[in-house]
Amino acid sequence: MTTSSWGGGGGSVAVRLWCCGLLMLLSGGGGGGGAVAQRSPAATPAYKTLSGKPPLVIAKGGFSGVFPDSSRNAYVFALSSTSGDTTLWCNVQLTKDGVGICLRDLLMDNCTSINLAYPAGKKAYIVNGELKKGWFPIDYNMSSLQTVICECQPIIFQLFDPRFTV
């Protein structure tokens, strides 16, 4: 009984033949004699958008799946982990001293811990014809918000609550 130089067992021959076949397919030599029509690179758009241009990336609230919505870390991470032409969408709320801050809601108690820092600060304003009660950015200076207020996740997931400041 003789042994072939392929290794003796039937399994190794099958593996080598499979690898050779895969190599032929990947290199374009899978048969057919090259009769397959190929498109020119100019005719095929680089992206499958209607215009063929790169898709627009709009990060509303930054990378809010990883960090609290509209936090500084969410915006920094969104810019560092996506394409260079990413647009950041921020809901700007103005403070008493005219500083714009990014918050996902006009009522600060819906997205920060302001009610813990200023328990007596709840006010009422008519906004778009509707009475709203809560804590509003317009009632506070940026310096008072920066030192004590933390961004909060929705009720569903509050891992970040005391860790990220406005």
DSSP code per residue over 50-70:
SSSSPPP-EEETSSTTTS-TT
Confidence (pLDDT) at 3: 46
Rounded to 5 degrees, φ, ψ at 151 are -75, 145
Using the 8-state DSSP alphabet, how is residue 86 labeled? P
Confidence (pLDDT) at 48: 85
Strands (E), the chain: 58-60, 87-89, 92-94, 100-102, 123-127, 130-134
Confidence (pLDDT) at 82: 79
Confidence (pLDDT) at 5: 47
Confidence (pLDDT) at 22: 53
Confidence (pLDDT) at 96: 96
Residue 61: HSE in the Cβ half-sphere, 13 Å Cα cutoff: 13
Confidence (pLDDT) at 95: 94
Confidence (pLDDT) at 132: 96
Contact between residue 110 and residue 129 where contact means Cβ atoms under 8 Å apart:
no
Dihedral of CA atoms 160, 144, 130, 127 in degrees, nearest 10, equals -110
Confidence (pLDDT) at 2: 46
Rounded to 5 degrees, φ, ψ at 14 are -65, -40
Give the pLDDT of the chain (166 residues) as one tens digit per residue: 444 444 445 556 655 655 555 555 555 544 444 455 555 555 666 788 888 888 887 877 777 677 777 777 788 888 888 777 788 888 899 999 999 988 888 999 887 888 888 999 999 999 999 999 999 999 999 998 887 767 665 544 455 555 565 5
| Among 102, 23, 35, CA closest to 68 | 102
